[in-house]
Structure formats: C-alpha cells, structure tokens
Amino acid sequence: MTISKLLVANRGEIAARVVRTARVKGIKTAVLRHSSEQEGPAHLIADEVVTIEGSTPVAAYLDIAQIVEAAQRIGADAVHPGYGFLSENAAFVAALEKAGITFVGPTSEVIDLMGDKIRARAFVEERGFPVAPSAIEDDDPATFVERSRAVGYPLLIKPSAGGGGKGMRVVRSAADYAEGFAAAQREARSAFGDDTILVEKYVESGRHVEVQVMGDTHGHVVHLFERDCSTQRRHQKVLEEAPAPAITEEQRAAITGAAVALAAQCGYTGAGTVEFLLDNATGEFYFLEMNTRLQVEHPVTEEVVRVRGQRVDLVELQLRVATGQPLGIDQADVTLEGHAIEARVYAEDSFGGFLPQAGRAGEVRWPTGDRVRVDGDRGTVTLLETAGGPR
C-alpha cells in the first residue's frame, strides 16, 4: 500500500517533526488545531490544517471519534500519533482499524497488551525474560499487603495503567507503606481512571536502560541500540544518553537481544522502546515496561545510530513499515558513531514546592553550533549535543 495523505494527530514539536519527514517522502500532510490555539510551525508547513473542537485543547486532542471523523473527511490514508495524547490508546487504534485507516504504529492488540503493566509483565515472565520480584494486587487482593511486604523494602509502588512516572512511590519502611500505597492509588485513579497497583522491589543502585526497537509486518525486528535515562526527577526523565555509558559490551548484547526477542514474540510493528532496570551491584537486569510509540528522546538515537553508514530517520522507518514494506535492515547493518546527550527542560514553581508549573518564558536563548540540535515548538524543546565531529 501507499500513503497519499497523512494526518498527524498531535501538535507542537512532534507534529512538525513528522510533517518534515513525510514531505521529504512526497506524502501530503494534515495537522490538527484547536480553535483556541495559536498558529505553530507544524501549521505553517503542513498541506492542510484541520480544526478540532472541545472544551479545552487537551480534550479535543483526546477525542477519538472526532479525530477519526476528521481523518475520514479529509481523505487521510494514515494517522501518525506522535507521542502523548492518543499515541498508546488501543481504543483509538481499533477505531482507525475499523475505519480502514492505517495507524503508524503497532496493532491495537499489541498496544492493549503492553500498555497494561501487569499483563505485560505476565507476558514477559511467561516467556522466560527477567522481571523484578513483585506482588500484584489483582492476583489475590486479600493477601496483597502481606505479599508486597514480603518482597522486601525498599519497594516501588506504581499503577498498572499509564506511565510517565505518574503515581509511583518509593516506600522504604513498613511505617510508610500505607501512606505511600494510598497516595499511589489516588494519583493513578486521577490520571488513568484505574487504581490497580503493582509493587516491585526497588533497586537502589539501578540504571534505567531502554532499547529502541523497530519491527516490520514481515516478522523482522532489529534494535537501534540503547539509551540511558537514569537521571530523573519525580520518575520523569531529565537526561538521555545514547549509547548508555555505564554498561559492558556483554550487558549491551544481553539487553538488546532480550528487547528484540520480546518485540518479535509479541508481533511488534513500528518503533517501540523496551525499558529495563540494570542492577549495578549484581549486573542483572529486569524488564520494566514497553512504550509502544516513538519517544520524546528519539533524537539522541538518530544522532548516533548509523544504518550502513548513513544517519537513521525513525519517522521514515515508521512510515515505511506502515505501508507494509520490509525494513530492509539486518542487525549487522546497524552501528554506533559518537555519543549524544539530550536534556529536557522542565518548568517548576519554586514558591510552591517545586511542583510542575505551566507559564510563559520571557526570553529563551538556545545554543547554536555544529554539534547542537534543538527540536522545539514554543514550550516543547529537545536539546542535544553530539560528539564525534561536526554534523
């Protein structure tokens, strides 16, 4: 199949990012715009702008029926979800599938499976991949507290649904358990509408390593090496490095091999990230979760990964896979060149407990130069520095 018109169901930096690659491939593009939004870079470079309505912009961008109807109305063959909003919503993908519109990403079944931490963990464990010691509330609610405490402190309490660090709590003693559990449930219920809880052993000296995978509809999966995202604030990633600086070649081979095997076993198509926790003290690693979408931090991978000596464009690979084409990449074709670091910029209220705070920046100056890449649209900016010579 071919894609003649692509609707990007997102906004800001990622919408512009997807449009730029689609235009290079000769695909007509359309982007969404809420009636209250200002014109952004994506609106200026897309072939078409589709107005969506809702009580707030966020409500409009989460309106599955409205976005599917918009795609049908403008004759879009495919929808790219970007990241955030509906990018990991199985119901959205199922609605597109029913409407005969190609989703640039995995199937609704795979998103549904890997989007639920408990189901994903069971799937991974049943197939022999390593998982951290844990207790799951749904297995037996009556004994959950006893079983979770038996895992041993410190514990990481987290929601089964959702991601992005929301609802996670580290509990270091029995005295803090009840309060931490209740707080995690409240935030999970508020953020995801589901307060099912999973408790895992918290690894104090762990490194958070994620593997970029890409699969096609012909059952072929490759990895595009890994990123380290251990520097976090409130379980939100702040710095991303590619390749990971604190692992051995043997650990890299084991972790990337596990990611590829897992993606292949769940029939994964498109771009995805398998996340692992690496215990520095023991060298063991455990499956954490799988993100069934392109991630914010994909630029660091693009800066250091080469396919047969050429730079990689992850969005281009996504579009290629979505049309049913084979990746055309063998694992031996994929190499590393240089090192890249990405920094996310967070806004916090220093007078309100440093809680996240939206607002307007009066003046921002971004660095320039041969080794600097800035991806941004007003408030959403990716800044990374690459080593290994001028770009």
**Which burial class, exposed, middle or buried, applies to 63 when counting CB atoms under 10 A from its CB (0-12, 13-18, 19+)?**
middle
Q: Say which residue the tokens 């890997």 belong to.
A: 114
Q: Could you give the CA distance from residue 364 to residue 63 in angstroms, rounded to a whole number?
A: 33
Phi, then psi, of 15 in degrees rounded to 5: -65, -45
The one-character DSSP state at 37 is P
Residue 50, strand partner residues: 32
Q: Could you give the CA distance from residue 180 to residue 280 in angstroms, rounded to a whole number?
A: 26
* Residue type, position 153, single letter: Y
Omega into 81 within 30° of 0, i.e. cis?
no
Q: Confirm if 74 and 48 have CB atoms less than 8 A apart.
A: yes
Q: How far is CA 36 from the centre of its chain?
A: 27
Residue 293 annotated among the catalytic residues of the structure: yes
Q: Confirm if 8 and 19 have CB atoms less than 8 A apart.
A: yes
Question: What are the strands of the beta sheet with 48-52, ordered from one edge?
Answer: 48-52, 28-34, 5-8, 78-80, 102-103
Q: Confirm if 195 and 182 have CB atoms less than 8 A apart.
A: no
Q: How long is the chain?
A: 391
- Tally of helices (H runs) and strands (E runs) in the chain: 12, 24
SS3 assignment, position 140? coil
Tokens of 28: 């007509």
Q: Could you give the CA distance from residue 294 to residue 14 in angstroms, rounded to a whole number?
A: 10
DSSP 31-81: EEEETTPPP-HHHHHSSEEEEE--SSHHHHHT-HHHHHHHHHHHT-SEEE-
Select which of 33, 293, 320, 344 is catalytic. 293
Instruction: Cite the DSSP H helix spans in the chain.
Output: 12-24, 41-45, 57-61, 64-74, 90-99, 108-115, 117-126, 144-151, 174-192, 249-265, 298-304, 314-322
Catalytic site residues? 293
